[in-house]
Amino acid sequence: MADLYQIQDLRLSLADMTAKPLLGAAPKIEILKGLSFTIPKGSAVGIVGGSGSGKSTLGRALVRLLEPSGGTIRFDGADITHLSDAALRPLRRRFQMIFQDPMSSLNPRHRVGTIIAEPLRLHGFTDIPTRVTRALDQVGLPQAFAMRFPHELSGGQRQRVGIARAIALEPDFILADEIVSGLDVSSQAQVLNLLERLVRDLGLTLAFISHDLSVIRRLCQQTIVLHQGRIVENRPTPDLFADPLADYTQELLSAIPLPDPAQPWG
């Protein structure tokens, strides 16, 4: 299976505005400290870590919302590490992102239909209404929802709209950044099942960022554990759960409270 993403020694520094002197540039803090991994086509990869691990920064680098300060990112064979915005534009359709907070990522003044149609228009698609209809269908929302506003939907339904907007563009890759962390367990399960089905049916490649290892267990074939900007473990998911190698992975796993009073947890 070919790799969709090849990441070599990825480094990324952000300016530390809290330490900016009166004159001159702010000092840089290295968030990502040399990451190397690949994402095979058609697979779902989980990226896990605590706050400050750099997982969201990594996600934003993959879809080139941030420019790396070192290393290379290859997407489908092409080096996109330092491409300009103009050069990225034709590629943008191919990697899509779903955000953590659907309330702030969906424009409250637009109807769901418009929200899904807008990126299609930007990327020059034809027969937009058909595509909107199909996207709603694929995420299991009734067609009538096209006329609704985001605030009329539940959290799980909003997250489905976010997914519909992303898949309508027929992308190769979807980045999902903490998309179930604000949802109830039942909606969480529904959204995860939906993603699982879409990855399978549409041949999507998925990177699923989460702070919660237990939601990754079902969905992802491969799991990358980040800690303080470094990869501490990157293995097939069943192996990682059966026998976590890194200390930090063990700590993360043992900290998850299972719904089982018999679990030794002290």
The 3-state DSSP class for residue 9 equals strand
Taking the least distance from each CB to other proteins, the nearer of 22 and 144 is: 22
Bridge partners, residue 233, by sequence: 225
Is 122 one of the binding residues for other proteins (CB under 8 A)?
no
In this structure, the number of other CB atoms found within 10 A of the CB of residue 19 comes to 10
Instruction: Kindly determine how many residues on this chain lie close enough to bind other proteins according to the rule CB under 8 A.
Output: 41
For the bound state, the minimum distance from the C-beta of residue 24 to other proteins, rounded and expressed in Å, comes to 10
Of 34, 50, 70, 119, the one binding other proteins (CB under 8 A) is 50
Cβ atoms of 172 and 205 within 8 Å: the answer is yes
Is 212 one of the binding residues for other proteins (CB under 8 A)?
yes
Cβ atoms of 10 and 34 within 8 Å: the answer is yes
Cβ atoms of 3 and 39 within 8 Å: the answer is yes
Contact segment (CB under 8 A) with other proteins among 66-74, 90-98, 199-207, 213-221 equals 213-221
CA of residue 53 relative to chain centroid, distance? 15
Is 228 one of the binding residues for other proteins (CB under 8 A)?
no
- Phi first, then psi: give them for residue 211, nearest 5 degrees: -90, -5
| Residues 150-169: x where in contact with other proteins by CB under 8 A, - otherwise, as a string | -----x--------------
Of 9, 16, 79, 243, the one binding other proteins (CB under 8 A) is 16
Contact segment (CB under 8 A) with other proteins among 56-64, 81-89, 159-167, 183-191 equals 183-191
Is 90 one of the binding residues for other proteins (CB under 8 A)?
no
Integer Cα distance of 116 and 125 in angstroms:
12
CA of residue 135 relative to chain centroid, distance? 19
How deeply is 8 buried, as exposed, middle or buried, from its count of CB atoms within 10 A (0-12, 13-18, 19+)?
Answer: middle
Contact segment (CB under 8 A) with other proteins among 39-47, 108-116, 122-130, 214-222 equals 214-222
For the bound state, the minimum distance from the C-beta of residue 255 to other proteins, rounded and expressed in Å, comes to 4
Of 147, 214, 228, 245, the one binding other proteins (CB under 8 A) is 214
Cβ atoms of 95 and 63 within 8 Å: the answer is yes
Which residues are near other proteins by CB under 8 A? 16-22, 50-51, 155, 184-190, 192-193, 211-215, 217-218, 241, 251-261, 263, 265-266
